[in-house]
Amino acid sequence: MIERYAVYGFETTHDALSAERALAKAGVPFTTIPTPKSLGELCGIALRVPIAVAPDAEGALEAAGLAWKARAEIDDRTPSGLSR
C-alpha cells in the first residue's frame, strides 16, 4: 500500500539522533531512513513520519529545540513496522 509521508533531513548526525529521541519521547511514529537526494547534501540520516502526524512531529522537534534543515513529502510503501 502506498502512503504519503513527510521526510525531515538534518544537518548533523547529532541533530538527527536527537530528533529520533524527541519523536520517540513524544510518541510520534517514525522510521529512520537514508536521506533522499532530493533533500540535498545533509548528514545522511532522515526521519520519515506519516503525513497525518507531521504536525505532531514538528511540534515535538520544536519543543525539543531542534530544527530540520529540509523537509519533503513523498509517497512510499507502508513499512512493516514503525520505530517508536
> Is residue 83 situated within a structural domain?
no
Residue 29: inside a domain, yes or no? yes
CB 83 within 8 A of CB 32: yes
pLDDT tens, N- to C-terminus, the chain (84 residues):
889 999 999 999 999 999 999 999 999 999 999 998 888 888 889 999 999 999 999 999 999 999 999 999 999 876 555 554
pTM of the model: 0.87
The set of long-range contacts for 50-54, using a CB threshold of 8 Å and a minimum separation of 24, is 50/3, 50/4, 50/5, 50/6, 51/3, 51/4, 51/5, 51/6, 53/28, 53/29, 54/6
Q: Which range marks the domain in which residue 71 is found?
A: 2-77
**Count: domains in the chain:** 1
- The CATH number that applies at residue 17 is 3.30.70.260
Does residue 64 belong to any structural domain of this protein? yes
- Is position 31 within any domain? yes
For residue 44, is it within any domain? yes
In a domain, residue 69? The reply is yes
